[in-house]
Amino acid sequence: KWRGAALAGGMGLLAACERGPQSALHPAGRNAEAILDLTLILVAGGGVIFLFVMALAGYAVIARPERFPGSRAWIIGGGLVFPIVTLTALQVYEFAVARQLSDTGGVEPLRIEVTGYMWWWEVRYPDVRVEGGEVLRIANRLVIPAGRPVEVVVTAADVIHSFWVPSLGGKMDMIPGHENRLILVGERSGTYRGQCAEYCGAQHALMAFDVVVEPPDRFEEWLAAERRPAAEPAGPQQAAGRDAFLRAGCGSCHTVRGTSANGAAGPDLTHVGGRDALAAGTLPNTPEALAGWIAGAQHIKPENRMPSFPILGGDDLHAIAVWLESLK
Ligand code: CUA
């Protein structure tokens, strides 16, 4: 396709990082594709104009013409007609692309609400109720069905953040007290990385999330599993972990549905073991990393709102990590 040719020709360096879960150059849906086309046309057009202007400037410097041949025509043509025609055409094209990006093609979109916090993402499915009747609430991860447009309503709880999944769609600012919307479309199944794209404090760089695009039937299975409360502990170690978690007061900030933990200040941990990463893309999701996070969250991600718990004994710490990781 011409896109491939443009990439190979004009953006050889960038092509090296074209692949990967967070690349605007490797779209996985039609909205990201439209944005890539727009980008390539603007870059290519800008490149042609730049080269032309440099050639004229070079001619003026090297040849030092007494009088530039046909200068009046150049001034009117190059200084007025060309920019007015070109910029108007580009503007019309850009408006058309922007319209296309917010068009769901008559399909009822899946609604997801995402709130930015320093420095994690709360994700709510307002039309999905968990067992018990509340709205489904997860963290740092969106799971969406392939092919169906998703309307993401974004806002922020503290400072301005920005929601961006380059492989799936455009970027949208998250502003406290205000709701913005964007449409994501995932057509290829896979896991794509999103990243906060507006500087929001010390840990801005460690504010990432995953978007998992699943075939529609797998998505329904995931929803059904996610709506269930946390499983009962499978053994004595998991039970000890749950008790230690509740004793340490973790439930005043975190919810684990099916236990007495019902805090709302931090991420919902009901199915935390099923996520790909911990602490908004900061750590791999393993019992060892989770134990390290609980003991030293302030060392790993200074100034985040999760305190370090160095006073937890090794056994308790390990048991809590094992229990939480069993919640898939
Ligand atoms: Cu949130 Cu940068």
What's the pLDDT band for 67 if we cut at 50, 70, 90? Answer: confident
Locate the ligand 1 atom nearest the alpha carbon of residue 159 and give its number.
1
What's the pLDDT band for 6 if we cut at 50, 70, 90? Answer: low
Q: pLDDT for 12-42, tens place per residue?
A: 555 555 577 888 898 989 999 999 999 999 9
State residue 237's pLDDT score: 92
For residue 204, the CA-to-ligand 1 centroid distance in Å is 4
Burial class for 130, CB neighbours closer than 10 Å (0-12, 13-18, 19+): middle
For atom 1 of ligand 1, which residue has the closest CA?
Answer: 161
Predicted confidence (pLDDT) at residue 2 exceeds the cutoff of 90: no
Predicted confidence (pLDDT) at residue 52 exceeds the cutoff of 70: yes
Tokens read off for 239: 């039970």
- For β-strands 141-145 and 190-196, DSSP reports them as unpaired
| Cβ contact 141:274 at 8 Å | no
Q: Is the CB of 218 under 6 A from ligand 1?
A: no
Q: Is the CB of 116 under 6 A from ligand 1?
A: yes
For residue 154, the CA-to-ligand 1 centroid distance in Å is 13
Identical fold, 1-64+102-226 and 236-325: yes
Q: Is the CB of 114 under 6 A from ligand 1?
A: no
Q: Is the CB of 196 under 6 A from ligand 1?
A: yes
In this structure, which topology does domain 236-325 adopt according to CATH?
Immunoglobulin-like (2.60.40)
Q: Where are the domains of the chain?
A: 1-64+102-226, 236-325
- For the stretch 246-254, contacts whose Cβ atoms lie closer than 8 Å and that sit 24 or more positions apart, written own/partner, are 248/309, 248/312, 248/316, 248/320, 250/320, 253/305, 253/306
Locate the ligand 1 atom nearest the alpha carbon of residue 197 and give its number.
2
What's the pLDDT band for 77 if we cut at 50, 70, 90? Answer: confident
Q: pLDDT for 85-135, tens place per residue?
A: 988 999 999 999 999 998 888 899 999 999 999 999 999 999 999 988 899
Q: pLDDT for 265-280, tens place per residue?
A: 999 999 999 999 999 9
Q: Is the CB of 205 under 6 A from ligand 1?
A: no
Q: pLDDT for 166-184, tens place per residue?
A: 999 989 999 999 999 999 9
For residue 201, the CA-to-ligand 1 centroid distance in Å is 7
State residue 72's pLDDT score: 85
Locate the ligand 1 atom nearest the alpha carbon of residue 156 and give its number.
1
| Cβ contact 271:230 at 8 Å | yes
Distances (CA, A) of 187 to 29, 30, 52, 167, 205: 5, 7, 39, 10, 28
Block residue for tokens 């968990």: 130
Q: Is the CB of 198 under 6 A from ligand 1?
A: yes
Mean pLDDT of the chain: 90
In this structure, which topology does domain 1-64+102-226 adopt according to CATH?
Immunoglobulin-like (2.60.40)
What's the pLDDT band for 75 if we cut at 50, 70, 90? Answer: confident
Q: Is the CB of 207 under 6 A from ligand 1?
A: yes
Percentage of the residues of the chain whose pLDDT score is greater than 70: 94
For every residue of 65-96, DSSP letters joined together read: -SS-TTHHHHHHIIIIIHHHHHHHHHHHHHHH
With a threshold of 0.90, tell me whether the complex ipTM lies above it.
Answer: yes
Locate the ligand 1 atom nearest the alpha carbon of residue 161 and give its number.
1
Predicted confidence (pLDDT) at residue 309 exceeds the cutoff of 90: no
Locate the ligand 1 atom nearest the alpha carbon of residue 119 and give its number.
1
State residue 306's pLDDT score: 92
Q: Is the CB of 194 under 6 A from ligand 1?
A: no
State residue 8's pLDDT score: 60
Q: pLDDT for 144-160, tens place per residue?
A: 999 999 999 999 999 99
Q: Which of 275, 277, 270, 276 is nearest to 231 (CA)?
A: 270
State residue 187's pLDDT score: 93
Of residues 263 and 313, which shows the higher confidence score?
A: 263
What is the arithmetic mean of pLDDT over 191-208?
A: 96
